[in-house]
Each structure stands twice: as C-alpha cells, then as structure tokens.
Amino acid sequence: MDKVNPAGILLFIYVMAPVIGLSANAVGQIVSFRSMPKMGLLKSIYLGFSAGLVTVIAVDILYWKCFYALFQRMLFPGIANVFIYAVLGYCYFHFVGLGETARRIRMLGEIYGSRDGLSLKEILARYNADEIVKKRIARLLGNGQLVYKDGRYFIGRPVVLFIAGTVMVLKLLFLGRKREADRGTL
Amino acid sequence: MSILFYTLSLAGLVFLTHLAIWRIRPPKKQTAALLKIFLFTLVAGTSLLFIFPGIVRWDILPGRNPFEIVQFFLLFLSIAAAYIVSYPAIEVDSPTLLIINAVFEAGPQGLEKGRLEGMMSDEVLVIPRIKDMLSDNMVYLDGERYRLMPKGLAMARIFSAYRNMIRGVKGG
C-alpha cells in the first residue's frame, strides 16, 4: 500500500479551506444562536461568518508556514480562498434569510406540517398578507429602517432604501418593469 | 490571481448573457435557465483551458494542474450559487422593499399606518407565490388541496431541520 503523502494531505486541506470555513461558519452560527438566542439571528450570522473567516485564514497561514518556500506562489491562491469563502458565506446568509423571511418556505412548511395538505383558505388562515406586513414592519422598526411617529411611517436609516433602489434598477434592466405587479398577471 | 481573473471574467460573461436573453424574452422558468447558462459557461470555460493550452502561458488563465482546476471550480460554483440565490429578489417583489418604496414615495409627510397595510393584500403578497410553487413543481393541486411534490418536500425538510437545529420559531 502506498504511503500517505503529508504534503498532499495539507494541499488538499488548503484547497478545501473555504469549504472547511463554511462548515465552521454554520456550526458557529447554530451554536451561538442556540446558546444565546437573545443575541438575535443577524448577530449569530456575523459571529458564524467571523468563525469561518478565522478558520480559512488559519489554514492559509498553516500551509504557508509549512511550505515557506512556496509562499510567493501560494499567496494569491490563499487570497482566492478567502474570496471563495466570502461568497460561500454570502450563500449561507441567504439560506438563513430564506428560512426566516421567504414566503414560499413558510407556506411549504405549513403544508408539510399538515396531515392532508391545505386548501387555499387554510393556507391564508395560517399565513396571510396581514401577518407578512406586520412582521416586516416590526423588523424594519426594530432595526431603525422605518420610524413610526404620530400614526405615520417615515424612512429611518437609508440602508434598505438603497437596496430597494438598486433592486428596482436591476428589475428595469433585466425585466423592463419596476414591479412584479406591473406584468399584470396577478 | 489568474484564477480570480478568469472566474470573474466568466461570471461577467454570464451576466451579459443573462441580460441579453432576458431583454429579448425572459424564460418561463428563470432559475432553471440561469442554472443552464452557468453550467454551459463552466463547461466552455474549462474546455478552453484544455483546447487552447497556449493562452494559459499568458498567465491570465488558471494552469491545468488539479489544484488550480479545483480552486477554479470552487470559485465558479460558489459565485453561481450566490448569483442564483440572489436573483429572486429581482424576479419577484419583496414585501420589505415594497413597504420601503411605499413609505419613500409618500415623501416627507410620511405614510399613514392604515394606508400601508391596505396596500398589501393576499393577491399581491401570497397568491403569486402559490402560483410560483405550482409552476416550479413544489406543490400540486389535488382537488382543492395543495400537497407537496418531492422538490417541495425536500425543501420543507431542509428548512424544518435547520429550524429545529436553531430551535427557531416560524419564519415568513
């Protein structure tokens, strides 16, 4: 049987650093949220992302330390590792966000939890526009994106407004309309 | 650096192809179409490295050693995943962004509480998503009841397992 090549194993770990980082991200996020639920989901995502980033950088440094002669050749692949990890971290953030805010995921969950499927009336009794709007307004007020004063809503911090503007530009660019409702099929 | 350069160039090419096709006629199943564009670009981009090895010497393309190929694949696939999960924000209206736009359009006098809630009905926020689930083969209609198809069941199980892991409450 061939001897295992330690340099080969280390190179494999080096290439897989973003995936190892993603695992550390998920574990860090889940453990931190479970142990400190009051911190909120968003902070647990930041914490998980930081844990993953530290892991990727640690693997990069470990590899450079073991193969110092290759440092110059392996510097850019190390930077690429961090870049790949950041993109994977963004995907994980989206995954958590989908579970938290996506309407389809919520409705799939409601149907999954029922014994015999659900009629439209039953779906709307469990999940409807009223609940959707209330939840989102509570989130927007909670993070300061909206301000409520004298029975009226005002824009608070402009971050989500900026995102809304960017999405609208992209909608116009790709679909030629500002809103889904503009296609007139609702 | 060549890995970053080459992969980001291919991602730029995907963006332009996406834009061109969508401007002519957006496909009915947009996510599936995006997936096909990414797969085609990945196959074409990888083939280029092997068919024209000469251009690798310019040092703008990844080499053909397994290390660089794996890293190129990882980067390309992660960008593809990020692109595809972000696209629904353009395809469908997000209730959060609809709320923010409505408040912004109301101007400095703000938007009355009752008016905002009246603007968002089930026909705008819920029914289109049910239609999407039907056309994406996540659910089917059995008489008057919506039931899960294998794709919808898999998604429901994944998110239910995650929710159990974090001991979270229902989202939406």
CA distance B164 to A34: 10
> Quick check: A1 pLDDT over 60?
no
> Residue B61: what residue type?
L
CA distance A143 to A41: 13
Phi (first) and psi of residue A49, to 5 degrees: -60, -40
Q: What is the pLDDT of residue A186?
A: 37
ipTM of the complex in this document: 0.85
Quick one: closest CA in B to A86, which residue? B78
Q: Do B124 and A181 touch (CB under 8 A)?
A: yes
To which H or E segment does residue A155 belong?
strand A152-155
Q: What is the pLDDT of residue A184?
A: 47
Task: List chain B pLDDT tens, one digit each, 172 residues.
Answer: 678 888 999 999 999 999 999 999 889 888 899 999 999 999 998 888 778 766 656 666 666 678 888 888 999 999 999 999 999 888 888 899 999 999 999 989 999 888 887 788 898 899 999 999 998 899 999 999 999 999 999 999 999 999 998 887 777 6
Q: What is the pLDDT of residue B60?
A: 63
Summarised one tens digit per residue, pLDDT across range A113-146 is 998 899 999 999 999 999 999 999 999 999 899 9
A38 and A115 share one domain: no
Q: Do A152 and B89 touch (CB under 8 A)?
A: no
Distance, in angstroms, between A55 CA and closest chain B CA? Answer: 17
Taking the Cβ of residue B145 and every Cβ of chain A, the question of whether any pair is shorter than 8 Å is answered with: yes
Is B132 a domain residue?
A: no
End-to-end Cα separation, chain A, in angstroms? 66
Contact A56, A21 (CB under 8 A): yes
Query: A22-26, A182-186, B54-58, B84-88 — which one is most confidently predicted on average?
Result: A22-26
Residue whose C-alpha is closest to residue A50's, from A76, A28, A83, A77: A28
Is A58 a domain residue?
A: yes
Distance, in angstroms, between A100 CA and closest chain B CA? Answer: 4
Q: What is the pLDDT of residue B34?
A: 95
Q: What is the pLDDT of residue A38?
A: 86
CB nearest to B78's CB, from A88, A128, A153: A88
Which residues of chain A does B126 touch, with a Cβ-Cβ cutoff of 8 Å?
Answer: 103, 107, 123-124, 127-129, 132
Is B16 a domain residue?
A: yes
Is B8 a domain residue?
A: yes
Q: Do B81 and A91 touch (CB under 8 A)?
A: yes
Is B77 a domain residue?
A: yes
User: Strand, helix or coil at A40?
Assistant: coil
Residue whose C-alpha is closest to residue A124's, from B127, B128, B169, B124: B127
CA distance A92 to A86: 10
A25 and A73 share one domain: yes
* Residues shown for chain B: 172
A25 and A94 share one domain: yes
CA distance B68 to A142: 45
End-to-end Cα separation, chain B, in angstroms? 41
Taking the Cβ of residue B21 and every Cβ of chain A, the question of whether any pair is shorter than 8 Å is answered with: no
Q: What is the pLDDT of residue B127?
A: 93
- Residue A24 makes CB contacts below 8 A (sequence gap 6+) with A48, A51, A52, A54, A55
A134 and A149 share one domain: no
Residue whose C-alpha is closest to residue A97's, from B171, B100, B98: B171
Cβ-Cβ contacts under 8 Å between A and B: the total is 237
Q: Do B123 and A186 touch (CB under 8 A)?
A: yes
A158 and A171 share one domain: yes
Contact A132, B121 (CB under 8 A): no
A63 and A92 share one domain: yes
Q: Do A34 and B166 touch (CB under 8 A)?
A: yes
CB nearest to B142's CB, from A117, A145, A176: A117
Higher pLDDT, A72 or A161: A161
- Chain A neighbours among B 38-57 (CB < 8 Å)? none
Picking from A36, A41, A132 by the largest number of B CB atoms within 10 A of its own CB, the best residue to mutate is A132
Please tell me the pTM assigned to this model.
Answer: 0.85
Higher pLDDT, B113 or A84: A84
Taking the Cβ of residue B78 and every Cβ of chain A, the question of whether any pair is shorter than 8 Å is answered with: yes
User: Strand, helix or coil at A176?
Assistant: coil
DSSP state of B169: P
Is A1 a domain residue?
A: no
A84 and A118 share one domain: no
Contact A164, A157 (CB under 8 A): no
Dihedral sign (CA B44, B50, B52, B57): positive
Higher pLDDT, A12 or B159: B159
Domain total of chain B: 1
> Quick check: A176 pLDDT over 90?
no
CB nearest to A103's CB, from B109, B110, B126: B126
A61 and A120 share one domain: no
Owning domain of residue A33: 6-101
> Following CA atoms A99, A102, A104, A109 in sequence, which dihedral angle do they give, to the nearest 10 degrees?
30
A127 and A159 share one domain: no
Confidence of residue A19 (pLDDT cuts 50, 70, 90): very high
> Quick check: A168 pLDDT over 80?
yes
Q: What is the pLDDT of residue A11?
A: 83
Which residues of chain B does A148 touch, with a Cβ-Cβ cutoff of 8 Å?
Answer: 113
Is B172 a domain residue?
A: no
Contact A132, B120 (CB under 8 A): yes
Domain total of chain A: 3
Is A41 a domain residue?
A: yes
